[in-house]
Structure 1
């Protein structure tokens, strides 16, 4: 695209001439022909790094009036917009040929369930013979081929480039997670959605959003008309509010009236589940899941409704669901131990409660839970997470998650305060070293118990003082299980 054409598309004149072949937010990643998006930030302005981008081959800069006044911008072809982040998605889409015009994008937002629902969507699409892409927290895939990922929803330039690659590789449909950050920061601007889905809302990210209302409004932005179809789970008050203001929304519920309903859910002794999906036309469809937990029944029902809206027969989609497992989401770790061992990503109060409530009917013995909270994030949820776990576990071991720049002992203290205030709390322990905490949980476990390592799920690192150390909960749990079994033989 010429700089002039891009400027006309976003309503600003171009200062200078250039032909743009790519877009980047990171100055160090600039390649010849790129437009460098120099955005204002909380700590620095992107324009301060423009010289690095220009040295890498960037041919023009998108910035705000403050950035345009930097000395380094003299003589540089510019697009100056008062709110450059708001137009970055549209600009990126234009440069990459508007790739989502050639794709059906199924976007899932909500506090919990995005990852699992996206994986179910991918499986249902594949079962229908479509070539599927996946964009989300656990990873990005193109027709089953994995790509590296860093954010739940990539920044707009990376996302549009990814969509372009998917379209070139023959992808027809994309299942993607859409975070509240992505919606608030415009990462999905310029993306065309065939289907938008909402799972649920509970406290999280209040370090970024002012309050729950602000958090809700960020999620609700996906339903502002940008999607052809809307699917909303109405099992919580937030979903009911969203459905009420989205007249054409297809509703989903596991508890009450809705267009799609999940009925007669049953859990097998091995944790697998089955339920009957009641479609809007009254048809009844059996659904089987490898995924345990009542919340995964809701996720599957949402996925069915989305796939139906995208033209995938529900029976075909349901067949695709039967084999789905998701790393770090109710992930079983088996080393021959006589008790259940689970790794899960639950890292907010509602998710911790839902996880343990889902496991309780499957566990004849005790729930032994290892849980921490991340640093530099929503501090208000720490005591609530401690309370949610303490109320449901016979033993809660409070440990470190990703303390980042904070004092890990202070994070643990905040969690323990909530746990100790819970009137029905079980036993409590504090072991800061996460590896030692996992080993202690395994050592306490007896036949019929369940050891639950929560909070980090699929993550393969632990961030302490700005340094990410290798750490994989599932791998550490497997090592602890193996060591304990050897010790008993």
Structure 2
């Protein structure tokens, strides 16, 4: 059973299904919609007790009893997975090698001492001091503390002669130069982070991807034992290797050892990807790879697909915005099993504290979820394959396509959730996911990538959302080269469609029609956009020939951190944590909550600093239009002034509401800590009258919303999702990272509700709690406008 990072996955045996009269239909090589099915359609019921009915009953679903005698889960042989046979020894492997000469060279552990054999192979060194896989994973050799939760095969040691490696990577000029000048240089790894170099690595400099000065990075890598350096050319017309035109800072006396080969490349990022693919034997070709692309829904879809594959008994690798992982274990940026290297100060805490940062230490580093260089993608895939993964699910975000993360990764099944609009709204900047590409460029990146990669009708399948307005044009562009499985919320011509959707404030029930029968799902994801993600996962399961029962069981077992995550601690209202940080995503979540029957909606959100400021007023406008209560708070202001970020959001509130207070001495829609104490009653009254509150401290904002919510209300904590950190400016002008997890804070607040209820005569119906503002205002009997004109504006 998978239980990690707040993710609980019940065993497959807990999901028994009744299937009538038919087995799942195999994958058709032609589009499924064009194939007439002769077999009767079965109906696969949800494994959860039905609690969602029309108009969605109020309150939490009843607790689900465990089955008395759970039956065995599905036992699918490995060769049942789509395309596994493509990687068997023989004809298909020969075809793969014909397309790309890169083949794996492994050295078994029982090889003799290092020496060159007659063919130029560099054999393994049995040196006790040599950095090994377990050294890099941080696992003690004697198997004590820090051992991974799952037993994996021991990854093989790999060694190359430098010239051979560059040759297999297709970098022939460099290979010939190395063979003539440095024939005896060996390579035991490929690395782009100078701090992680170990003796024997090729160090590939990616300018701008490290915080270090480029020369310092090269020097640090060489000091740590790099045997070859790949650096950018000095001028665009330079050839790959010596001689160089102009002054070369790497040739300065004492800069580098005289016997160190330095290979110059115009595109070191592509060179690094090619070298890593050659070094690790193109690991993507040894697995079934599922790539998830699109503007929205990638993370949720990728996790649901992983759930289906795990239900099939597969060891699954995952690269996603939340984490990189194999089975139950997270991976670091180099594909090694992640282990904390420092003590976590939050480990024994129930929550953070107000107005203070708890150091973010000993936790899974946040940058692992960002777009990685292609070199690291190859290392990640190799780390998965070496440990026994036969399937990898890859979230292919737009930034990763921009930097070429997956340029040298073969994809078997591509899932396109949505294509960015080719013509964004006038004046609209790109959102977070398209930060490095315009909207039209992002759409072309997705379509162009697949048009180039998808040419094999026997080994590749496309899963496409027909609800996307560009889907028809995309299909025409592919011209039927590969089979297509389509899905849609509304288009009955799609292979996978939603026949009915019912929801409440806790969960959603979906009846799905597929070519093999109807499937019933009850999931804890809210909103039609998440139903679309579910359909994408179902369509992918069909493309992979998964049994229908496994598709249902796998999807229902998934809980995605911070993606429409419903928190249930026994309260009579719902708390939802979601990563909605764009106006469209926030609107979709709020509409879903309203349609689920929420009595009142409390929206707590903010916007990050140093990100698209044009999104802020639009977020404020959406929250105001679709919420009953709004609490604007901090997300991660970084080096921006938090008050400025809040002001940008508040600019989206209606003018008639804001202008009502134009005569006030201070603007009332700001944090009360930024105004004089005498103005506090007036600020609080303005915010209370409009149910629009400003609380920059997120700790307090979460507790204010949860403490005020009543039966059948919904509290939406939007923006951060799975992110368990917050970034603020430090005293020295740097960015400080502290621990703050919306899910942890919400659960802690929910646990304190029983104490609040015990306080006599304590009014929590509105904010601030127990306030006597109205009494105070009546006592003063002064109009706020007159009051502002008669008193000074400084405290």
Shorter-chain TM-score above 0.5: yes
On the 8 A contact 2:324/2:369 being kept in 1, the answer is no
Larger Rg: 2
More helix by share: 1
On the 8 A contact 1:363/1:450 being kept in 2, the answer is no
Residues 66-94 of structure 1, C-alpha deviations (whole Å, 9 max, x = no match): 39833246743133221222332222111
Question: How far off is 1:25 after superposition?
Answer: 1.7
More strand by share: 1
Equivalence map 1:186-335=2 (5 Å): 186-201=404-419, 204-205=431-432, 208-227=435-454, 228-248=460-480, 249-269=484-504, 271-279=506-514, 281=515, 283-335=517-569
Question: Is residue 2:453 matched to residue 1:453?
Answer: no
Q: In structure 1, what is the Cα distance between the partners aligned to 2:391 and 2:632?
A: 42
On the 8 A contact 1:243/1:251 being kept in 2, the answer is no
Query: What are structure 2's unaligned runs of at least 5 residues?
Result: 1-159, 236-243, 332-337, 339-363, 421-429, 455-459, 658-689, 730-734, 759-795
Question: Is residue 2:571 matched to residue 1:347?
Answer: no
Question: How far off is 1:455 after superposition?
Answer: 0.4
Q: In structure 2, what is the Cα distance between the partners aligned to 1:45 and 1:463?
A: 24
Specify the SS of the correspondent of 1:391. Answer: helix
Question: How far off is 1:355 after superposition?
Answer: 1.0
| Residue aligning to 1:54 | 222
Question: Is residue 2:570 matched to residue 1:386?
Answer: no
Residues 147-185 of structure 1, C-alpha deviations (whole Å, 9 max, x = no match): 446124433233222211221221111112111111110
| Residue aligning to 1:66 | 234
Bigger drift between 170-179 and 333-342 goes to 333-342
Question: Is residue 2:270 matched to residue 1:86?
Answer: yes
Question: Is residue 2:166 matched to residue 1:7?
Answer: yes
On the 8 A contact 1:122/1:134 being kept in 2, the answer is yes
Bigger drift between 432-441 and 479-488 goes to 479-488
Question: How far off is 1:238 after superposition?
Answer: 4.6
Question: Is residue 2:700 matched to residue 1:473?
Answer: no
| Residue aligning to 2:329 | 145
Q: In structure 1, what is the Cα distance between the partners aligned to 2:613 and 2:476?
A: 31
TM-score by length of 2: 0.58
Count of residues in Structure 1 that have an aligned counterpart in Structure 2: 488
On the 8 A contact 2:286/2:385 being kept in 1, the answer is yes
Bigger drift between 100-109 and 227-236 goes to 227-236
Q: In structure 1, what is the Cα distance between the partners aligned to 2:390 and 2:265?
A: 34
| Residue aligning to 2:191 | 24
Residues 176-208 of structure 1, C-alpha deviations (whole Å, 9 max, x = no match): 211111111011222111111121256523773
Q: In structure 1, what is the Cα distance between the partners aligned to 2:433 and 2:315?
A: 37
CA RMSD, Structure 1 to Structure 2 (Å):
2.7
TM-score by length of 1: 0.91
Which of the residues 96, 100, 110 maps onto 2:284?
100
Which of the residues 351, 371, 376 maps onto 1:158?
376
Question: Is residue 2:203 matched to residue 1:36?
Answer: yes
Question: How far off is 1:485 after superposition?
Answer: 3.0
Residues 34-72 of structure 1, C-alpha deviations (whole Å, 9 max, x = no match): 111112228876344100011111111222113983324
Bigger drift between 269-278 and 391-400 goes to 269-278
On the 8 A contact 2:620/2:649 being kept in 1, the answer is yes
432 and 233 in structure 1: CA distance in 2 versus 1, 3 angstrom threshold: same
Bigger drift between 321-330 and 206-215 goes to 206-215
Bigger drift between 231-240 and 175-184 goes to 231-240
Query: Which protein has greater RCO, CA pairs closer than 8 Å, 6+ apart?
Result: 2
Q: In structure 2, what is the Cα distance between the partners aligned to 1:32 and 1:116?
A: 40
